[in-house]
C-alpha cells in the first residue's frame, strides 16, 4: 500500500512539475515570431493617402481605435478621438476578459520603431514582446501586401497625438496563458491588379477581415463549412445580435442582390448626418456601415465579385 501511495505521490508531483514547466515556457518564452525588422517607412503623400484609406475604410483600424459618436444616426467616428482608443471589450459583450482598445496615435507610438509597428500589425507581437489577442484581426493583416502595411504605418505617424493612456487588457483563464501561443510569423502576399476583380476582391475581403465577423466560431476558431454564412454572435447592451449571411445563397444570403444594390447598400451610409428611414433606424447592428461606405465603388464591386464566387451556404440569420 505504501509503495502504491509513493507511486501516486510521485506521479502527481511529476504532473504538477510538467504543468509548471509548460506554463512557464509558454508565458516566458512565447510569443517568439522573431525580432522586428530594421525598416524605416518613408512618409510619402502617396503612402499616407493609401494608409488613410485602408485604416479608415478597409482594415478598420480607426473603427476600433477611436470612439464612435452615437448621437449620429450611423455612429460615425468622433473626429477628435481618431486613433485615441478607449473602447472596451468585456463580459457585457460576451468577451472573455476586459480589454481597453489602446491609443495608436504618435503619443503612444513615438517610441516604437516602424519595424515594431510592422511586427505588431502582421504577427500579433507588441514592442515589449507580449501577445496581442486576435480580437485585433492581425491574422488577416498578416497576409496583406508589404507596401500596404507600410502605408498604414505612414498614416498612423501623421495622426494628431492624443495624450491618453489605458491599462493593459486582462484575459480570463485559460486565455491569459493560451494567448502567448497565438502570434505567428506573417505570410505576406502581393496586391493583385484591380483589373482582376475577383482576386482583388478577395484581397480586400481578407484585409477587411470580413470572414472573422461573418462566420460562426467555436473557441475562437471559425467553424469549417460555415465561412461567411453569418450567425456570429455579438452583444449590444447585453442582447445578442448576429452577423449576416453574405454567401451567394439566394434565400438566406446575398445571392439575389444585384451588384448595384450591393454597392448602394454601403453608399447609403455615406452621410453621417443623414437620418435613417424608420425601418433602418430600428436595425441594431455592429456593422460599421459609415466607415465601409468610404470604400471606393470599384473596390465594392470587386468585393461583390469575389463574394459571388464563394460557396453558397443556406443559413438563415434572424435578428
pLDDT (tens digit per residue) in 147-161? 999 999 999 999 999
Helix (H) or strand (E) holding 89: strand 88-89
The C-alpha cell of 255 is what?
445571392
| Confidence at 78, pLDDT banded by 50, 70, 90 | confident
Does the structure show a pLDDT above 80 at 227? yes
For residue 238, pLDDT beyond 70:
yes
Domain identity same for 107 and 235: no
Report the alpha-carbon angle 276-52-73, nearest 5. 15
Final residue in a domain of this structure, among 126, 152, 181: 181
Burial of 66 (0-12, 13-18, 19+ CB in 10 A): buried
Where is average pLDDT lowest: 59-68, 73-82, 302-311? Answer: 73-82
User: Residue 282: pLDDT above 70?
Assistant: no
* For the chain, percent of residues with pLDDT exceeding 90: 69
Among the ranges given (5-14, 36-45, 58-67, 308-317), the one the predictor scored with the smallest mean pLDDT:
5-14
Q: Which residue has the higher pLDDT, 266 or 286?
A: 266
Instruction: Looking at the structure, tell me whether residues 292 and 264 fall in a common domain.
Output: yes
Alpha-carbon distance of 211 to 24, in angstroms, equals: 34
Cα separation of 68 and 99, whole Å? 17
Statement: the pTM of the whole predicted model exceeds 0.85: yes
Distance CA(84)–CA(245), nearest Å, equals: 32
CA-only gyration radius of the chain, Å: 22
Dist CA 27 CA 23 (whole Å): 6
Q: What residues have CB less than 8 Å from 263, skipping those under 6 apart? A: 297, 300, 301, 304
Q: Specify the number of domains making up the chain.
A: 2
Distance (Å, whole) CA 83 – CA 69: 14
Q: Taking residues 227-234, what's their average pLDDT?
A: 94
Report helix, strand and coil shares of the chain as percent, to nearest 5.
40, 10, 50
Residues 168 and 205 in one domain: no
Instruction: Label residue 63 by pLDDT band (50, 70, 90).
Output: very high
Residues 151 and 239 in one domain: no
Report how far residue 139's alpha carbon sits from residue 133's, in angstroms, rounded to the nearest whole number.
Answer: 10
Task: Based on the fold, state whether residues 129 and 222 are members of the same structural domain.
Answer: no
Final residue in a domain of this structure, among 154, 181, 208? 181
Report the chain's terminal Cα–Cα distance, integer Å: 62
- d(CA 229, CA 220) in angstroms, rounded, equals 16
Reported as a pLDDT band with limits 50, 70 and 90, residue 276 is: low
Instruction: Please report the pLDDT score of residue 3 as a whole number.
Output: 65
CA dihedral 157, 159, 164, 166 (to 10 degrees): -60
2 is a domain residue: no
Q: What is the pLDDT of residue 319?
A: 79
Higher confidence at residue 78 or residue 116?
A: 116
6-48 pLDDT per residue, tens? 666 556 566 665 555 555 555 555 588 999 999 999 999 999 9
Which domain range does residue 230 map to? 197-307
**SS3 state of residue 163:** coil
- Let me know whether 104 and 143 are in one domain: yes
Amino acid at each position: 500500500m505504501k509503495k502504491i501511495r509513493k507511486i501516486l505521490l510521485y506521479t502527481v508531483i511529476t504532473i504538477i512539475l510538467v504543468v509548471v514547466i509548460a506554463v512557464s515556457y509558454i508565458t516566458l518564452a512565447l510569443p517568439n515570431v522573431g525580432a522586428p525588422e530594421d525598416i524605416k517607412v518613408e512618409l510619402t503623400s502617396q503612402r499616407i493617402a493609401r494608409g488613410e484609406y485602408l485604416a479608415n475604410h478597409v482594415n478598420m483600424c480607426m473603427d476600433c481605435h477611436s470612439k464612435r459618436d452615437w448621437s449620429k444616426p450611423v455612429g460615425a467616428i468622433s473626429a477628435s478621438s481618431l486613433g485615441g482608443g478607449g473602447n472596451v471589450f468585456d463580459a457585457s459583450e460576451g468577451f472573455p476578459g476586459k480589454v481597453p482598445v489602446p491609443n495608436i496615435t504618435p503619443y503612444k507610438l513615438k517610441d516604437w520603431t516602424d519595424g515594431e509597428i510592422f511586427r505588431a500589425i502582421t504577427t500579433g507581437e507588441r514592442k515589449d514582446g507580449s501577445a496581442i489577442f486576435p480580437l485585433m484581426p492581425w491574422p488577416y493583416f498578416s497576409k496583406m501586401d508589404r507596401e500596404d502595411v507600410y502605408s498604414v504605418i505612414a498614416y498612423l505617424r501623421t495622426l494628431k497625438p492624443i495624450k491618453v493612456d489605458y491599462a493593459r487588457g486582462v484575459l480570463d483563464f485559460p486565455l491569459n496563458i493560451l494567448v502567448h501561443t497565438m502570434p505567428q510569423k506573417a505570410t505576406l502576399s502581393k496586391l493583385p491588379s484591380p483589373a482582376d476583380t475577383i482576386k482583388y476582391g478577395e484581397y480586400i475581403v481578407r484585409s477587411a477581415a470580413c470572414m472573422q465577423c461573418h462566420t460562426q466560431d467555436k473557441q475562437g476558431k471559425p467553424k469549417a463549412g460555415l465561412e461567411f454564412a453569418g450567425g456570429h454572435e455579438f452583444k449590444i447592451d447585453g442582447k445578442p445580435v448576429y452577423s449576416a449571411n453574405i454567401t451567394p445563397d439566394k434565400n438566406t444570403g446575398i445571392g439575389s442582390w444585384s451588384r448595384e444594390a450591393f454597392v448602394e447598400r454601403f453608399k447609403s451610409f455615406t452621410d453621417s448626418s443623414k437620418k435613417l428611414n424608420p425601418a433602418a433606424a430600428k436595425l441594431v447592428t455592429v456593422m460599421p456601415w459609415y466607415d465601409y461606405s468610404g470604400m471606393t465603388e470599384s473596390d465594392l464591386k470587386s468585393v461583390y465579385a469575389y463574394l459571388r464566387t464563394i460557396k453558397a451556404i443556406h443559413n438563415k440569420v434572424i435578428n
